[in-house]
Copies of this chain bind each other. A is one copy, B any other.
Amino acid sequence: MKATAIAPSNIAFTKYWGRKDEVLRLPANGSISMCLSNLFTTTTVEFSPDFQKDEINIDDKGRIIKHLDRIRRLANISLKARVATENNFPSGTGLSSSASGFAALTLAAVKAAGLNLSQRQLSILARQGSGSACRSIPSGFVEWLDGDTSETSYAKQIFPASYFKIADVVAVVSERKKEVPTSFGMQTTQSSPFMEIRLRRMKEKNKLVKKLIKERGFKEFGEFIEAEAMELHAIMLTQYPPLIYWTPGTLTIMKLVGVWRSEGLPVYFTINTGQNIHLICEQENVDKVKAKLKELEEVKEIIVNTPGEGARLHNASR
């Protein structure tokens, strides 16, 4: 009763911000993302009568135990588990480690518990651990349907990883963990005077970004995702209390991206709830973007991602 799973982080082109059901983690709006090839969590779960209690090698144990309980209920077991989990990137810095983390935990624990679930069932389960984790189950370009019930809120592939040849060049400006957890900030989204307007527009925005991915027109796609990132941060800045996830390094790069574009390099940014920034470009321009970032003292690390595989068992091919 032991299994190891690997799951990617994902980058959202339309963001998950706010929930219509806190307990079930139903999002206020659907969202579109892609799985990232080089940001991932590897998690091993073992259930055994030898364990007196759940043994977990990271913090945030309460939320993980709650998730193990969901899986134990499904499998009708009561064995305690040992969980060993590791990210290959800094967590709590805007790189969505809870997405990769809960996707890997879900798949490893389900397998270790002997359950045989469909991808959709895995996605629904991962969502209950951390909303955006559901988007790290399928591969490539993914849509998370908001749904009105737990059973209808899951992510599915909309295009395979090879469909649109873009890259996400992550610039790590700091490994310092965010001060306000995403889950906390999400509870006060309605305090922004602009949240209602945002939600009213999200169906149209999701429809549009799917069309832009389908057409593979990079400029229009890039402009869209950058504006959507700005919108997310405009909402957070106008919440009470306000949330400022940018740091000076983030802001420096945001502005430079505009300068680089004006110099002829097609690159756009998106940012989640953290200081590290995702630069989106066509795969053919990755080296140019990397070269620009390497010149900056603000950049501590560069991680190049292409659209990647979703959650999978270790040593298993999909």
Contact = CB atoms under 8 A, between A and B. Distances in A.
A255 B244 contact: yes
A67 B247 CA distance: 42
Interface stretch (A26-34, A85-93, A124-132, A194-202): A194-202
A114 interface: no
A115 interface: no
Given A227-B240, A242-B227, A197 B193 contact: yes
A274 B247 CA distance: 18
Interface in A189-215: 193-194, 196-198, 201
A184 to B, nearest CB: 15
A199 to B, nearest CB: 11
B248 A254 contact: no
Interface residues of A, number: 26
A227 to B, nearest CB: 7
Nearest to A248: B248
A246 B235 CA distance: 17
A250 to B, nearest CB: 8
Contacts of A231: 193, 238
A184 B308 CA distance: 42
Interface in A239-268: 240, 242, 244, 246-249, 251-252, 254-255
A273 to B, nearest CB: 15
Contacts of A84: none
Interface in A274-307: none
A234 interface: yes
B244 A251 contact: yes
A201 B197 contact: no
A237 interface: yes
A251 B242 contact: no
A252 B248 contact: yes
A251 B235 CA distance: 17
A111 interface: no
A282 B92 CA distance: 37
A233 interface: yes
A74 interface: no
A280 to B, nearest CB: 16
Nearest to A240: B227
A255 B246 CA distance: 10
Contacts of A252: 248
Contact of A248 (B234, B235, B251): B251
Given A193-B194, A193-B198, 8 more contacts: A193-B197, A194-B194, A197-B197, A230-B237, A231-B238, A234-B237, A248-B248, A248-B252
14 contacts: A193-B194, A193-B198, A194-B194, A194-B234, A227-B240, A230-B237, A230-B242, A233-B237, A234-B234, A234-B235, A234-B238, A244-B251, A247-B251, A248-B251
